[in-house]
Amino acid sequence: MQNIVVTGKSGAGKQPRIDVLVSEFGLSQLSTGNIFRHYLGVFKSLGHERSPESYWDAAADGFVPDAAIRAALEPACAAKGIPVDDAVLGLKAARFVDAGLFVPDSITNALFEGAFQKHGGRGLILDGYPRTADQARFLLDAVSRAGTRLDAVLIVDNEDELIVGRTIGRRICPKCQKVFHLEFKPPKDGRLCTACDAEVIHRSDDTEEKIRTRLAEFQKKTLPAIGVLTGEGIPQVRVPGNLPVFTDEIVRASVMEALAPVLK
Ligand SMILES: [Zn+2]
């Protein structure tokens, strides 16, 4: 197995399936969230005095030329032993993320390929990428540039209403990150972490409105991305996100069974 895409609705239950792929095939998880955190962190660590926005050319609706950004970042990068290319990517991402702006595919693609190449383009579980049809086309090119391949797209299936119910009841311990559910795995006295006694919180991402927005995004953008990959002959494998009995062994068996035809 060289690379596999794991996708599904937000809250479908991707992580336990990714854990199986890590342990069974020795693959590494490459998630978009971590890629962004990495490059944003690289840029922040420079302590650069100018704002990312100041490298934006409003008239051209784009960044000033890369050479100018590199020249500005080079001294601090050299002093700290940071690759300039990484700092440039971090600055570009920060211009959108810091302002809460929608991140264009061109930026997400550039960050993805930077991270993908660092791993030699193989041995990866792609998580959270591709999320649009454009990203999927970019991924196919990036894989071909790396001389590797995508073995499968694993889709974790789950019903919208189950996801909504599970997510709005979710509570998280802000101290130790333990996850609870008001109905299925309640905190102590309905509000305290059973491990460290901190008061559990309802994350602002876990409101019904936000969940429904993410579910609609999946239909509108991610399904077409999956369509691009399967249209190019990448095998599609589906696993149930909701199992009647949920144990590590049952999750493992369901993933391995679904992958069997691809592994042949
Ligand atoms: Zn806790």
pLDDT digits (tens, 9 = 90+) for 54-89: 999 999 999 999 999 999 999 999 999 999 999 999
Q: Give the pairing of strands 28-31 and 124-127.
A: parallel
Task: Return the SS3 of 115.
Answer: helix
Q: In sequence order, what are the beta bridge partners of 181? A: 170, 185
Distance 255 CA to ligand 1 centre (A): 31
Instruction: Tell me the one-letter amino acid at 260.
Output: A
Distance 206 CA to ligand 1 centre (A): 18
Task: Count CA atoms within 13 Å of residue 206 on its CB side.
Answer: 16
Distance 204 CA to ligand 1 centre (A): 18
- pLDDT at 184 (0 to 100): 87
- pLDDT at 1 (0 to 100): 92
Are the CB atoms for 256 and 20 separated by under 8 Å? Answer: yes
Task: Count CA atoms within 13 Å of residue 250 on its CB side.
Answer: 8
For the chain, the C-alpha Rg in angstroms (whole number) is 20
Confidence grade of residue 257 (pLDDT, cut at 50, 70, 90): very high
- pLDDT at 244 (0 to 100): 84
- pLDDT at 108 (0 to 100): 98
Distance 185 CA to ligand 1 centre (A): 14
Confidence grade of residue 264 (pLDDT, cut at 50, 70, 90): confident
What value does the mean pLDDT of the chain take? 96
Distance 203 CA to ligand 1 centre (A): 15
Question: Cα 88 to the chain's mean position, in Å?
Answer: 21
Distance 186 CA to ligand 1 centre (A): 13
Distance 174 CA to ligand 1 centre (A): 7
Confidence grade of residue 106 (pLDDT, cut at 50, 70, 90): very high
- What are the pLDDT digits (tens) for 125-180? 999 999 999 999 999 999 999 999 999 999 999 999 999 998 999 999 999 999 99
- pLDDT at 6 (0 to 100): 98
DSSP state letter for 185 = B
Distance 197 CA to ligand 1 centre (A): 6
Residue 63 sits at the vertex; the CA angle it makes with 57 and 69, to the nearest 5 degrees, is 115
Distance 108 CA to ligand 1 centre (A): 34
Percent of the chain scored above 70 by pLDDT? 100
Q: In sequence order, what are the beta bridge partners of 185? A: 181
